[in-house]
């Protein structure tokens, strides 16, 4: 946790950018690199659907969210994919469970 879910991207491309992505995301979100999960979501497109990056994480300041989105956009833009949509799905520590307990009850989970 957090999860960076790339929808519609080539998994080979994601493997190429994952080290840079994880390094920068961890720094900006102030989490260890080991906690950052990068996932490729393959979908069957029925109607026109853009490439997208879904970021599942606990809330940060608006400035942090803006910095994270700008960093991801910059990496994608370098590879000609600057049109991808980037959005956050903010999770609540009281509604995110690990080992049957809300993470808000666990020490140092972010």
Predicted confidence (pLDDT) per residue in 18-69, tens digit: 999 999 999 999 999 999 999 999 999 899 999 999 999 999 999 999 999 9
Give the pLDDT confidence of 6-20 residue by residue, as tens digits.
999 999 999 999 999
Residue 106: band (very low, low, confident or very high) from pLDDT cuts 50, 70, 90: low
Q: Where are the chain's structural domains? A: 3-105
- Give the closest residue to 86 by CA, choosing from 63, 71, 69: 69
Mean pLDDT rounded to a whole number for the chain: 94
Rounded CA separation 54/3 (Å): 8
The predicted structure's pLDDT at residue 2: 96
Per-residue pLDDT, 1: 84
Conformation bin of residue 100: beta by default, left when phi > 0, alpha when psi is -120 to 50: left
CATH of domain 3-105: 3.30.429.10
Cross-strand bridge partners of residue 85? 52
Distances (CA, A) of 29 to 10, 24, 59, 76, 81: 25, 9, 10, 18, 23
pTM: 0.91
């Amino acid at each position: 946790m957090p999860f960076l879910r790339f929808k519609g991207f080539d998994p080979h491309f994601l493997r190429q950018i994952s080290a840079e992505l994880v390094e920068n995301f961890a720094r900006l979100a102030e989490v260890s690199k080991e906690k950052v999960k990068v996932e490729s979501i393959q979908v069957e497109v029925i109607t026109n659907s853009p490439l997208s990056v879904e970021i599942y994480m606990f809330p940060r300041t608006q400035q942090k969210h803006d910095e994270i989105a700008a960093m991801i956009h910059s990496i994608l833009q370098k590879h000609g994919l600057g049109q991808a949509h980037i959005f956050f799905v903010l999770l609540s520590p009281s509604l995110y469970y690990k080992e049957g307990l809300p993470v808000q009850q666990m020490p140092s989970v972010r």
